[in-house]
Chains A and B, each alone.
Chain A
Amino acid sequence: MNIELSRRAFLQTAGAGLAGTTLGALGFGDIEAAHAAAIRSFKLANTTEARNTCPYCSVACGVILYSKGDLRKGEQAEITHIEGDTDHPTNRGTLCPKGSALLGFVKAPTRLQQPMIRKPGADKFEPTTWEDAIDRIARLMKDDRDQNFVATNNDGVTVNRWITTGFLAASATTNETAFETYKVVRSTGMLVFDNQARV
């Protein structure tokens, strides 16, 4: 960066108000001007590339998502291509057949886009809201824990365990999220607990 800045400063001090370009100095100023006029009718297209983790399995391969459009510039962005991330130490640019089909996964019409519930005895899922879903889960967990929490074993040793409910969390998260998940789940006494990238 310093190199680039010093070059700019030098050009500004030495430029004496000239539009100094290499093409102009070499006598190609006319084609430069024609090109500048011709390009004016063209527009720029924003594309983005973003790193992510493949959600299919616990290997957690790195992928690069290519999109047309840039959300940061107030545009709609649509994923156009997904490929293995060469810089990622796990997969080094490779993907398995499932990972290679990720674009179909992202665009699948059957993709889960909101919380769904299948009530006891029902034969199909129906949509619900996040608020209802979280309240319902909390209620059921509390009831089950109140009934089945084991504070001491038969020998009177304190064990504080709750093994009638299990918890499956995702591992494609930050360390901080994983830390919080572990703390919350273990503090309830839950032992049936796994982290799994495909969640």
Chain B
Amino acid sequence: MPKQIVPSDIDPTAIGEVSAPPYVRLPDPTRLFFRRAQRLNALAEIDELGPYLRFLAALADVQHGIQDGLSDPDLPETEVRERAHAFGMPPLDRDRFASGAFFETLDRLVLAASAIEKPRAAANALDRLKLAAPAERDAMVRNVLADAIAADALAEHVYVAAALQLHFARLAACLDASTLVPVGDGACPVCGGPPVSSMIVGWHGSHGARFCACSLCGTLWNYVRIKCTLCGSTKGIGYVEVEGGPGTVKAETCDSCGCYVKILHQHKDPNLDPVADDVATLGLDLLVRESGYRRGSFNPFLVGY
């Protein structure tokens, strides 16, 4: 007897490619920084910020290169993560981050970054970081994890933030994406951090969906479009771009909280990277700032705007 087809086997309404985006896409640290370096190098060829983008590309290359032989990061205990889940908190708790094991990553990054061609100020900052006492380094780690970078040591924090990005991306990659749930507007479901930017993606099966990119761990999380990624308002959302541009990077402005976060149309250009293209479109920040909106995203490579 042929298999009987029950109505639940077939969805007659599914016409065309239905978009069914996953809630999160965890970072793949073995590709994340490699691709970011490629993107930064490509942007450096055409952008006025070329030298800075080349510096960041070299830093992303370091983030990629130092992973070989680096010890596996320790995830928090299962019961700690389960308790966080039960109370709607992200599994990686920034406040309880023990920086001990992280210093191996930081030491490797500092060593490898010595070879990067850079201005004197950047070299001096790296030297200061090399000589910093563990307590000073720990304080910098706390600053980056609190997204509160000290204005008198911005340069040192760039290296610390780069090492933390790598460390947290490796931690996030060990998690099970299916256990992650939303923890609040503007907060990464893995580490609770603010987004660096968001992207409309063209991935197969998720076309047209918007994902926020975490500024620390690189996790991408699905977020409803035309909604402020910071305060969750759906009223008074506008999109601003530099006139005559390709329309791939816009500032999503929110009249409710007065902030903006950049939104990248990755479905139009698959090369767009949430961190690289945020830095490369600094001109947009400078123009939007004059119209009264404040930059609401966090990017350790673009602090002070």
What's the nearest-Cβ distance from chain A to residue B51, in Å?
6
Contact A44 B288 (CB under 8 A): yes
Contact A22 B119 (CB under 8 A): no
What 1/0 mask marks residues of chain A from 50 to 87 whose CB sits below 8 Å from any chain B CB? Answer: 11000000000000100000101100000000011111
Residue in A28, A39, A47 whose beta carbon sits within 8 Å of that of B51 in the complex = A28
Interfacial chain A residues near B286, Cβ < 8 Å:
35-36, 39
Q: Would you call A157 an interface residue if the criterion is a C-beta within 8 Å of the partner chain's C-beta atoms?
A: no
What 1/0 mask marks residues of chain B from 223 to 244 whose CB sits below 8 Å from any chain A CB? Answer: 0111000110000111111111
Counting contact residues on chain B (CB < 8 A from A), the size range is: 35 or more
Contact B19 A96 (CB under 8 A): no
* Given known A20-B154, A25-B154, A46-B238, contact A4–B287 (CB-CB < 8 A): no
Q: Would you call B146 an interface residue if the criterion is a C-beta within 8 Å of the partner chain's C-beta atoms?
A: yes
What 1/0 mask marks residues of chain A from 1 to 41 whose CB sits below 8 Å from any chain B CB? Answer: 10110111011001110111111111110011011101100
Q: Would you call A179 an interface residue if the criterion is a C-beta within 8 Å of the partner chain's C-beta atoms?
A: no
A95 to B262, CA, bound (A): 27
Interfacial chain A residues near B238, Cβ < 8 Å:
46-48, 70, 72-73
Residue in A26, A34, A35 whose beta carbon sits within 8 Å of that of B55 in the complex = A26
* Given known A25-B125, A94-B15, contact A86–B52 (CB-CB < 8 A): no
Contact B287 A39 (CB under 8 A): yes
Residue in B119, B236, B250, B259 whose beta carbon sits within 8 Å of that of A4 in the complex = B259
Interfacial chain A residues near B152, Cβ < 8 Å:
14, 16, 18, 20
* Given known A1-B231, A6-B148, A94-B16, contact A64–B225 (CB-CB < 8 A): yes
What's the nearest-Cβ distance from chain A to residue B118, in Å?
7
What's the nearest-Cβ distance from chain B to residue A5, in Å?
10
Q: Would you call A198 an interface residue if the criterion is a C-beta within 8 Å of the partner chain's C-beta atoms?
A: no
Contact A93 B19 (CB under 8 A): yes
Contact B208 A4 (CB under 8 A): no
What's the nearest-Cβ distance from chain B to residue A68, in Å?
10
Interfacial chain B residues near A4, Cβ < 8 Å:
147, 194, 230, 259, 296, 298
* Given known A39-B286, A72-B238, A92-B18, contact A19–B121 (CB-CB < 8 A): no
What 1/0 mask marks residues of chain B from 114 to 158 whose CB sits below 8 Å from any chain A CB? Answer: 000011111001000000000000000000001111111111001
Residue in A16, A38, A94 whose beta carbon sits within 8 Å of that of B151 in the complex = A16
Name A's B-contacting residues (CB within 8 A). 1, 3-4, 6-8, 10-11, 14-16, 18-28, 31-32, 34-36, 38-39, 42-51, 64, 70, 72-73, 83-87, 92-96
Name B's A-contacting residues (CB within 8 A). 14-21, 48-52, 55, 118-122, 125, 146-155, 158, 186, 193-194, 206-210, 224-226, 230-231, 236-245, 247, 250, 255, 257, 259, 282-283, 286-288, 291, 294, 296, 298, 300-305
